[in-house]
Structure 1
Amino acid sequence: MSINYLLTWNCKHLANAEKREDIEKTCNEYGYISPVICTPEELLGG
């Protein structure tokens, strides 16, 4: 099972552009595809 999007208001840790590459790398190291990490506003285009 996988998820396509991870919605969060946690911009300090999860929805942080500076940390996104590290999160994707870690997911890939464990054999997972990283979901799109964004805030609800970003997903809805606001």
Structure 2
Amino acid sequence: MLIRLIKLVFFLAILGVIGLSGYAYLGDMSPPSAPQSTTVTLNGG
């Protein structure tokens, strides 16, 4: 019974690692980009 539980935990850990690495490589985790502009006033030119 204990060996079956250890196998289940090991199997779930392997599935978790595979799922996490798949999400890291295939998931879109880049931040949304937006154009930004700022007006700069120079004194004494």
TM over 0.5: no
Q: TM-score, normalization: structure 1?
A: 0.31
Instruction: Report the structure, 1 or 2, having the larger helix content.
Output: 2
The one of the two structures with greater contact order (alpha-carbon pairs below 8 A, sep at least 6) is 1
Instruction: Report the structure, 1 or 2, having the larger strand content.
Output: 1
Q: Which has the larger radius of gyration?
A: 2
Q: TM-score, normalization: structure 2?
A: 0.32
